[in-house]
C-alpha cells in the first residue's frame, strides 16, 4: 500500500480548464493499466498541466478530471502523438462508452481540515 496521502487536486487561481472524462470499460483490459500509467507520466510533462483527480464506482463508472492552466496546454495534451495512439486503442479495445467535457473554470476554492 502506498504512503501517498489521498487528497483532491488543490484549487488554483482561475481561469483554467477542467477536462472531465467519464467512461465504462469492456471486459478485455489487456494492456490498459500499463497504458494508463504511461499517460499519467506523459501528461505531467505538458507545460501548464495542473493535476488530475480520479474516481471509480463499484459498478464500473470511471471519472477522471484533468486540470490545465490554459487552452494551449490542453491542446498540447490533446494533440500528443502517444496520447492520440492510446485514445485510438481505447476506442478499439478498452472502452464500452465514454464522454468528454471541457470546461473553463471561473471560480475555484478548497478546504483542508487542520490536524487536531
Cell of residue 67, nine digits: 486540470
pLDDT in the model for residue 107:
97
pLDDT in the model for residue 40:
95
Mean pLDDT of 25-36: 94
Give me the residues paired with residue 96 across strands.
none
CA–CA gap between residue 45 and residue 41 (Å, rounded): 7
What does pLDDT average to over the chain? 94
Burial of 89 (0-12, 13-18, 19+ CB in 10 A): middle
- Identify the band that residue 1 occupies on the pLDDT scale cut at 50, 70 and 90: very low
| Vertex 35: Cα angle to 34 and 41 (nearest 5) | 95
Instruction: Say whether pLDDT at 59 is over 80.
Output: yes
pLDDT in the model for residue 115:
85
pLDDT in the model for residue 80:
97
Give the global pTM: 0.90
Amino acid at each position: 500500500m502506498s504512503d501517498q496521502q489521498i487528497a483532491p487536486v488543490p484549487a488554483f487561481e482561475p481561469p483554467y480548464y477542467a477536462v472531465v472524462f467519464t467512461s465504462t470499460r469492456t471486459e478485455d483490459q489487456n494492456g490498459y493499466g500499463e497504458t494508463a500509467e504511461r499517460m499519467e507520466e506523459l501528461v505531467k510533462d505538458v507545460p501548464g498541466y495542473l493535476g488530475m483527480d480520479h474516481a471509480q464506482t463499484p459498478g464500473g463508472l470511471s471519472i477522471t478530471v484533468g486540470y490545465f492552466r490554459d487552452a494551449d496546454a490542453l491542446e498540447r495534451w490533446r494533440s500528443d502523438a502517444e496520447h492520440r495512439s492510446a485514445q485510438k486503442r481505447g476506442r478499439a479495445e478498452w472502452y464500452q462508452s465514454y464522454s468528454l467535457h471541457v470546461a473553463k473554470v471561473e471560480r475555484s476554492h478548497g478546504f483542508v481540515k487542520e490536524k487536531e
